[in-house]
Amino acid sequence: MAKHLLDIMDGDGDVPSSFHWDALLFQSAKNSIIFRMMEQEKSPHRMAFSSLLGYYKGISLTNSREVMTAITKANLKQVEGVAKKYFCPLFLRPTPCAACVSGGDVFSVMEDLLQCCGKKMTVVPPLENSSMANFMQ
């Protein structure tokens, strides 16, 4: 992917305005996100937990449905602006800096994907594991 982006970028490090995002890949990404959201809510236990968590966070019960509807209505024009601002600098600049918060095994997957693109990822431990938190105990 990084090689593909490097091949299309112009001299000043930006993606040229003539570049077009692939509509089929975009549709596939939207479907994958919706499928993942549905998988997270497929059991009664998960739905109950999600409902309880939403109650404490002040999120409506229809939040998932609203997010899925927004994803379905998203178009390439909307994604283009976000990609130019956040995605392209991650791969087109020689020393990018990005932050990501995620749980589970996602870190190892992200690290592998970034290494395939020639980027090194540094994982910063959670604050509760920091030296300052240990000092305050």
Instruction: For residues 103 and 57, state if they share a domain.
Output: no
For 75, phi then psi, to 5°, come to: -125, 170
Q: What is the pTM of this model?
A: 0.54
User: Domain range spanning residue 49?
Assistant: 1-10+19-94
Q: Kindly state whether residues 1 and 58 are assigned to the same domain.
A: yes
Q: Between 47 and 118, whose confidence is greater?
A: 47
Q: Are residues 90 and 105 in the same domain?
A: no
Q: Do 72 and 41 fall into the same domain?
A: yes
The tens digit of pLDDT for each residue in 23-40 reads 888 888 888 888 888 887
- 66 and 2 in a single domain? The answer is yes
pLDDT band of 80, cuts 50, 70, 90: confident
Question: 107 and 86, same structural domain?
Answer: no
Copy the structure tokens of residue 2.
Answer: 């990084």
Q: What is the pLDDT of residue 41?
A: 80
